[in-house]
Amino acid sequence: MDILNTNEVDKVIKDYKPTHIIHLAGQSNVKLAWENPQVTILNNTIGTLNILNAIKNYSPYTTLLSIGSSEEYGSSSEVLEYIDESHVTHPKNPYGVSKLSACQLVQQFVGAYQIQAIHVRPFNHIGPKQSEGFVTQDFAKQIVEIEKGRIDSPIKVGNLSSVRDFTDVSDIVSAYYKLLLNGRIGEIYNVCSGIGVSIQELLNEFVALSESFIEVKVDPSKFRPIEHKFIVGSNKKIINDTGWNPKMELGQSLLQILDYYRKL
Ligand code: GDD
């Protein structure tokens, strides 16, 4: 269904009365959000509102897992800090605004209408088959194209100085499952590894996993209008409440992403 079509959303939720909904539909690319903020706000915020409204009207016993983002915090600290759920929220791009607005609507619907909802703030997640336009895909695809002789070195990269917190998508999925079972209704949960990795380190790991000679060229057109230096989270709350713990090492995830492109 189209989450912007209220008739369709209402009908599906009324007909199925699902026990659980994991709401992942949305525009998730930060760069694209700068290029098309309207589409981002519409899908991420109004789309979530439509689902909340349908649950309120037609299926009040549904548990909703609303997927937000660490971009809601908009941390711009110059020193590494571990962002927990009580951290101030000052989103720095339209994507972060769209997800924070969705989060606030979720909390209002929980308070006003007793909707059974939990809001999640996942930090960067990675894995094979992620859409292009995210950093690991952009790097891996170019490296494999060089390995296969389809393009020449160098690979083009954006800002290498930022620091992010990466979790394998398989661990993210297990976090969502555990939150549906044991998360507290009305709460916000970070999903993250708690480990900060600079994009330069990420690139170095990728290059080390390839036998080809990879040169690197920084391409200013890949920079964003505003860039966060550090986005690293605290995962204490989800671990305490659900027993979740990420299992995949970063190197394993990067190898799986490279191997995915190698087999294409
Ligand atoms: N995409 C991309 N491509 N990013 C690059 C590149 C490149 O070639 N070179 C450097 N970067 C830098 C970006 O400037 C950014 O600092 C970092 O790598 C990560 O970029 P993305 O993978 O595009 O992710 P993001 O941090 O902007 O947003 C992701 O994480 C959020 C959670 O923190 C997305 O997955 C969001 O949907 C998610 O909510």
Structure tokens at 209: 């996993």
CA of 105 to the centre of ligand 1 (A): 26
State how far the Cα of 207 lies from the Cα of 98, in Å rounded to an integer.
Answer: 35
Give me the sign of the Cα torsion angle 165, 168, 174, 177.
Answer: positive
Lowest mean pLDDT among 76-80, 93-97, 186-190, 243-247: 76-80
Query: What's the whole-number mean pLDDT along residues 57-79?
Result: 93
Phi-psi region of 54 (alpha: psi -120 to 50; beta: other; left: phi over 0): alpha
Average pLDDT of the residues in 117-146:
96
The ligand 1 atom nearest the CA atom of 69 = 39
Choice from 135, 155, 156 to test ligand 1 binding pocket (greatest atom count within 8 A of CB): 135
d(CA 149, CA 231): 35
The pLDDT tens digits of the residues spanning 194-218 come to 999 999 999 999 999 999 999 999 9
pLDDT for residue 225: 87
Residue ranges around ligand 1 (CB below 6 Å): 28, 30, 69-71, 123-124, 133-135, 138, 157-159, 162, 164, 199, 222, 224, 227, 231
Q: Write down the ipTM of this complex.
A: 0.97
Q: What percent of the chain has pLDDT over 90?
A: 94
Q: What integer pLDDT is reported at residue 146 of this predicted model?
A: 97
Residues 72-100: tens digit of each pLDDT: 999 777 788 899 999 999 999 999 999 99
Mean pLDDT of the chain: 96
Instruction: Walk me through the domains of the chain, giving residue ranges and CATH numbers.
Output: 6-126+167-193+230-241 (3.40.50.720)
Tell me the residue ranges of DSSP E strands in 40-144: 63-67, 82-83, 116-122, 125-126
96 vs 68: CA distance, rounded Å: 9
